[in-house]
Copies of this chain bind each other. A is one copy, B any other.
Amino acid sequence: MGKDTKSFMAMKGAGYYSRATIGAKHVMDNAAELVLDAVARMDPADDATMPFRITDMGAADGGTSLDLWRRVLGDIRARAPGRPIEIIYTDLPRNDFAQTFQNVHGLTGLKTYADEVPGVHVLASGTSFHQQILPAGTLDLGFSSTASHYITHVPGPIAEHVHMVGAAPGERALYAAKGAQDWEAMLLHRVAEMRPGARLCLFNFGIDAQGRYLGNTGGVNMFDTFARLWGDLRDRGVITGQEFRDTNFPQVYRTEAEFTAPLLDKNGPVHRAGLRLEHVEARVVRCPFEQDFTERHGDAAAFAEAYIPTLRSWSEPTFAAGLDSARPEEERADILNAFYAGYQSLVAAEPEGHAMDYVHIYLVARKAG
């Protein structure tokens, strides 16, 4: 969820992001086995002259993936004791990379691999994963979790919703096409970066075989709730119709078939470049705030208070961008505060069914050769 979150996070202060994204961390911790399995299949050579290069793409402040990397880097170190490792945290240029380095280098109290695993060289890149980040043929392990649902730009408005999952069929088709185009380009950039035998582990928001997706796993649909509450503000004249129409998440949730298509099409450029599907599966990871509420405390107000920041941490930049820039900053802040307060009141009053369960498609690929 690395995109466009910096100003909000800067406002809320260090640590807020990591707390609000504890679910994203669960997703990675649970999927570490998939990365470890990929490393085992690679069986990296203990070559002191060839750094083992890793990218963590869309890493934001690097906090959520620290535990995963502690395990994976420790495993690589055990397999190749003398091989230098380079791990490159990537995100957009405005990302708070100073926070990333402080987290990884152990200056913020988070448990890190930095003083545990020797021979690890930590780097960063401000190049978007929609472009080639590294020189050709230099990457051993590409990783990204909960990031590449962001597309380079929205392909069109969504008249009566805010996210492509609730768009009308014609609108949705534009998003699906844009999502397919960005995904193929993303994979082509990655396969160019990879050495033969390298692995790519991409854990992305998606739509599973039962039609489930983030915040829509049988209870109250989170994105429909966003759209309804944002629409209420429009109907009450708090925001304009134009502002509602201008509010569109620059995201595409893809199905398993959409994720795998470029890898399976033998005549397509991705397959021809050598990228091969090794593993794909869908998983649901339960919302930790809903689970706390249901299984532990049962306090609806406390649930609502803990739950809303996890939604707000990644959704606020989109709602903020929808507002007319001519509005004074304070007025925009008031609208956004009222919007999330409304969502919180709704959850506090009727908590049942609210949950931001994570639905990811987990994909592992290798470069042939």
Contact = CB atoms under 8 A, between A and B. Distances in A.
A272 interface: no
Contacts of A93: 98, 101-102, 105, 107
Interface residues of A, number: 32
A125 B126 contact: no
Given A51-B138, A98-B93, A138-B51, A123 B122 contact: no
A345 interface: no
A127 B134 contact: no
Contact of A124 (B94, B97, B107): B97
A218 interface: no
Closest 3 CB pairs of A and B: A101-B126, A84-B135, A97-B97
28 contacts: A84-B135, A84-B138, A86-B135, A88-B123, A93-B98, A93-B101, A93-B102, A94-B98, A94-B101, A94-B102, A95-B98, A96-B98, A97-B97, A97-B98, A97-B101, A97-B124, A97-B126, A98-B98, A98-B126, A101-B126, A102-B126, A105-B126, A119-B135, A121-B134, A121-B135, A123-B123, A123-B124, A124-B126
Interface of A: 6, 48-49, 51, 84, 86, 88, 93-98, 101-102, 104-105, 107, 119, 121-127, 133-138
